[in-house]
Amino acid sequence: MTDPAFLQNLGLIIVAAALFSLFGKRVRIPSIVSFLLAGLVLGPLTGILEDSDALKMLTGSGIVLLLFLVGLELTVDRIREVGRIALITGTAQILVTCALGFALSLGLGFDTLPATILAAALTISSTVVVVTMLVEREESSTSHGQAAIGILLVQDIFVILLLTVLTGLGGGGESGGAGAIALGVAKAFGGMLVLMGLMLVSSRYLLPRPFAWADSSRETIFIWSLSWCFLVVILGHFFHLSHEIGAFLAGVSLAQLSHSHDLQRRVRPLMNFFVAIFFVTLGVGMQVDVPGSVWIKAVILSAFVIAGKFLIVLIIAARLRFDARRAFFTALLLTQISEFSFILVAVAKSSGLPVDETGALLGIVGMITITLSSLIIGARDPLFSFLMKRNLLRAFSAAIKPEDDSQAKRSGHIIIVGMNTLGRELARRLTARGETVVATDTDLFKLRDLPCDTVQGDAESPAVLREAGLEKAKLLVSTMHIESTNDLLAFRCRVAGVPAAIHAVNLREVTNLLDMEVAYMMSPKVDGIHLQNTELLRRGMIRK
């Protein structure tokens, strides 16, 4: 039987989230901040609502769907592209942030063990916050979005190892010693590799046929995809992996299938609902009635998380030859602590470690950093321009060169979407004629060796089109064979007032494209019939 109190609490959360999100839009603050404020009002400030295990279960489902959506946007080629950079940047960031955070925690009066737990908690950035911001801004397929997601994945692996160690300390680590801990870490590593291998094999041999069979019904394929997600989550638990990692790998396995873009659009509204509940309940669980000394420590640690982690990631990214914009945006995305930070402290406490003060402290740090990080990211473009104009970013690394701002200066150029044979040939010929060309494709390999500017990403994303400079282009050419993508590009060109030349794969597309006021349609079937009739007329085989 359904608990009436649970339904009442859930209703209060949904109503508060809706009202505060409307208020947030009026005053132009990110939705994440609005949800946190709603939780603070419902919980610590008024006492209307108390945190409960049932609500935590709902928020856990939201995180699973969020990581599933992230995986859906990562093909094997994209993972291969960001993997090396993400591994180097993420590992270096973890080591440097942990060392500095440990020293700062000791300076604030914490003992060695609590300082170690606190440093690890400060090191991790929030996957929920970062991915939510990227999805809201439609930037999850951009270069800085992929770099940030790659670093977060490295951090997630780091968290798994820490949780394994803490579990070993509390549940047999004393009796088993270092051997038990080493065995737990080895199991985590081995489980991750085995599950990843199973997902890659499944995406190639197991999933294509049943999903192709279900493709005729979008509702069926949606339910099957969610079923696959939670099946892999259960399988991940068998390998002692977190449900977040399992959901991510499930998404990656489905990303290799042809219908992944449709799944992304269908999963996103469900994910947004659970994410709203997550942040409201996070606000409900905050402890604000603490001594002034805890607030002072929280402010100091928050400054370290926001300013310190930003500079650490910025410098590391610059040394790896990120351009100024990508390094700045990637670093800015990681300036908060994670939901896993609270889990770390909870597990440490359950293992009998002396971390009582750390929990309340991290709650305040989380509230401050998540709020300020979301606000700063919302103002990142003017902030980046301000710093670049004053040449302030060069102080941290010689690798960051002054932005050439080619994106901002680019005007009167031609955007070519889709680097198939036709797209690559058009890019070469138009460039040879003196035209300024920007080529876009999701596959980095297809963009190599082109004599023009390139933008990697999905052209369905407004962020990718902004990076390509659609507003100031004189023409967009799509050589894509995907009808839905071509319709969307034609619509966005119409809104931007930019002429479009679209590849009409099927004749039934012509009406839609004409409605979108496409300037020119490339229709191989029509053109082929026209050339055939012309040649037959020339040979006298037919008459007009």
Q: What is the 3-state secondary structure (H, E, C) of 368-382?
A: HHHHHHHHHHHCHHH
Pairing of the two strands 520-522 and 453-456: unpaired
The answer to whether 51-279+294-395 and 406-538 have equal CATH topology is no
Instruction: Tell me if 324 sits within 8 A of 314, measured CB to CB.
Output: no
- For the chain, the residue count is 544
Q: Quick one: what percent of the chain has pLDDT higher than 70? A: 74
**CA angle, corner 307, sides to 95 and 281, nearest 5?**
90
pTM of the model: 0.64
**Separation between Cα atoms, residue 113 and residue 240, nearest integer Å:** 25
**Separation between Cα atoms, residue 438 and residue 117, nearest integer Å:** 48
Would you state the pLDDT for residue 505? 64
Q: Using alpha carbons, select from 100, 50, 120 the residue that is nearest to residue 343.
A: 120
pLDDT-based confidence at 239, cuts 50/70/90?
confident
Domain boundaries, the chain: 51-279+294-395, 406-538
Architecture of domain 406-538: 3-Layer(aba) Sandwich (3.40)
The sign one gets for the Cα dihedral 337, 339, 342, 343 is negative
Question: Which residue is associated with the tokens 């969610």?
Answer: 226
**CA angle, corner 465, sides to 464 and 468, nearest 5?**
90
Instruction: Tell me if 478 sits within 8 A of 491, measured CB to CB.
Output: no
Q: What's the average model confidence in pLDDT over 9-38?
A: 82
Would you state the pLDDT for residue 40? 84
Q: What's the average model confidence in pLDDT over 258-263?
A: 67
Q: Using alpha carbons, select from 435, 466, 465, 475 the residue that is nearest to residue 452.
A: 435
Query: Is 422's pLDDT higher than 90?
Result: no
Q: What's the average model confidence in pLDDT over 55-76?
A: 70
Task: Record the tokens describing residue 258, joined without a space.
Answer: 């042809």
**pLDDT tens digit string along 29-43?**
777 778 888 888 888
The amino acid at residue 309 is: K
pLDDT-based confidence at 427, cuts 50/70/90?
very high
Dihedral pair phi/psi, residue 441, rounded to 5°: -165, 155
Architecture of domain 51-279+294-395: Up-down Bundle (1.20)
> For residues 70-83, b (16+ Cβ closer than 10 Å) or e, as one string?
bbbbbbeebbebbe
Instruction: Tell me if 277 sits within 8 A of 21, measured CB to CB.
Output: no
Would you state the pLDDT for residue 404? 43
**pLDDT tens digit string along 444-454?**
678 878 888 88
Burial of 296 (0-12, 13-18, 19+ CB in 10 A): exposed
